[in-house]
């Protein structure tokens, strides 16, 4: 990607009303090179790319403003994951002002769904998101997560998980302060705590809802029986699990169960931790501290074999006049109308590219053809290290 566009909208330049003027010129440049050609042509014909942007009517809002539902919660068709805005996979520290630029430009372009967690940072990503969305807080959906055993005051990580009801309530109080808000629109249990009945977790969230501090709730990487029990106790709006062309595990049980129960699905790592963008090749090696270094699907033995999936995605990118990342995200959205990917990025061009996926459409025949081709590729290696996988598909104990 051409990183020279990272300065498309500088936070240390014009801000808010003046910042919108910067967008007038910058959006045309960005969309012409990063969005699918049919979208860029449509904007040029209608003059959208040169109209002034406002918080409620941005130059691309009519094009990228498709909405989807997670249960009863309405969000943009593509969200923005902010996990790495305090530290990237490569362990570098992004520039805070540029992270605010990305958050605010995403909103200008129609993104209304932002995903964070207390564990990201820990705590620091919530602070960045809270500052970023402050000018338009009431027009967006903020999702965050509790569940890891994190010191409520210092943010220090401790071993294991903690979903005790009292801890959940205190964790949410901290979230509200860091996010500069009075409510969490979508609160997930980040991982199932095998020591706490899910009924007790739901009870704590229900109390927070009664106080107006939480509006919707969900689970992440839970076992299917826990999902059923939680939904009976307190209706769930969304499940967040890893899901992409690189990892299709949720198709077996979780996605059918979400369809049965009327629950939305939010794929984390929808671009396969960068694999599906085309930025990784057979010679790629990962730095110490980058989780991909210890994921066997990216090992020197498996990576060259898994690139067959990337070759497939690139061929479809040519066919649909899009990019591999856009094909990968559009494929997710084509599976179900209630699937909302949340690609994360720390680079402005990548954010613009990702939200452009909303304009890539597949006919039913194309979707079926692509699904068959993806299924034919056998991905080698595990999606996560065993120590991390141990926290997935966990069933909560039953309440005595």
Residues with catalytic roles? 120
Residue by residue, DSSP assigns 58-120 as -TTHHHH--EEEETTEEEESS-EE-GGGSS-TTS----HHHHHHHHHHHHHTT--EEE--TTT
Let me know if 124 is exposed, middle or buried by CB neighbors in 10 A (0-12, 13-18, 19+).
middle
- Whether 266 contacts 285, CB under 8 Å: no
Helices (H) and strands (E) in the chain, counts: 14, 11
Residue 136 structure tokens: 């338009």
How many Å apart are CA 90 and CA 35, to the nearest integer?
Answer: 26
DSSP 267-335: EESTTTTTGGGT---TT----TT-GGGG-GGGSTTTHHHHHHHHHHHHHHHHHHTS-HHHHHHHHHHHH
Instruction: Describe the strand order of the beta sheet including 141-146 as a list of residue ranges.
Output: 80-81, 113-115, 141-146, 184-189, 214-220, 238-242, 264-268
Whether residue 67 is preceded by a cis peptide bond, meaning omega within 30 degrees of 0, is no
Measured from the Cβ of residue 398, the count of other Cβ atoms closer than 10 Å reads 11
Backbone phi and psi for residue 382, each to the nearest 5 degrees, phi listed first: -85, 155
140 and 107 Cβ atoms separated by less than 8 Å: yes
């Amino acid at each position: 990607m051409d990183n020279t566009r990272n300065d498309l909208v500088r936070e240390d330049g014009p801000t808010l009303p003046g910042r919108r003027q910067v967008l007038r010129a910058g959006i045309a440049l960005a969309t012409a090179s990063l969005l699918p050609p049919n979208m860029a042509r449509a904007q040029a014909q209608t003059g959208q790319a040169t109209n002034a942007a406002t918080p409620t009517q941005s130059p691309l809002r009519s094009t990228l403003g498709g909405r989807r539902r997670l249960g009863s919660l309405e969000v943009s068709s593509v969200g923005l994951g902010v996990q790495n805005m305090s530290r990237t996979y490569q362990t570098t520290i992004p520039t805070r002002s540029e992270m605010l630029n990305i958050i605010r430009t995403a909103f200008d372009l129609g993104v209304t769904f932002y995903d964070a967690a207390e564990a990201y940072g820990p705590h620091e990503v919530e602070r960045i998101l809270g500052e970023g969305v402050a000018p338009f807080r009431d027009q967006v959906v903020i999702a965050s997560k509790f569940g890891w055993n994190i010191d409520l005051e210092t943010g220090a990580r401790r071993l294991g998980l903690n979903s005790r009801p009292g801890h959940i309530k205190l964790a949410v109080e901290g979230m509200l302060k860091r996010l500069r808000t009075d409510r969490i629109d979508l609160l997930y249990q980040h991982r199932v705590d095998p020591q706490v009945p899910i009924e007790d977790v739901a009870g704590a969230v229900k109390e927070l809802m009664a106080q107006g501090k939480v509006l919707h709730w969900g689970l992440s990487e839970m076992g299917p029986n826990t999902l059923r029990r939680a939904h009976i106790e307190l209706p769930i709006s969304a499940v967040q699990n890893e899901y992409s062309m690189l990892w299709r595990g949720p198709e077996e049980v979780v996605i059918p169960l979400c369809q049965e129960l009327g629950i939305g699905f939010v794929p984390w790592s929808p671009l396969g931790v960068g694999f599906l963008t085309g930025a990784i090749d057979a010679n790629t090696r990962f730095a110490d501290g980058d989780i991909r270094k210890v994921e066997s699907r990216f090992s020197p033995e498996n990576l060259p074999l898994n690139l067959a999936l990337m070759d497939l995605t690139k061929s479809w990118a040519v066919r649909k006049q899009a990019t591999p990342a856009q094909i990968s995200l559009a494929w997710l959205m084509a599976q179900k109308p209630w699937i909302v990917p949340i690609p994360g990025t720390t680079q402005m061009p990548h954010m613009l590219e990702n939200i452009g996926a909303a304009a890539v459409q597949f006919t039913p025949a194309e979707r079926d053809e692509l699904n068959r081709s993806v299924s034919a590729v056998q991905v080698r290696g595990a999606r996560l290290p065993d120590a991390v996988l141990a926290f997935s598909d966990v069933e909560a104990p039953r309440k005595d």
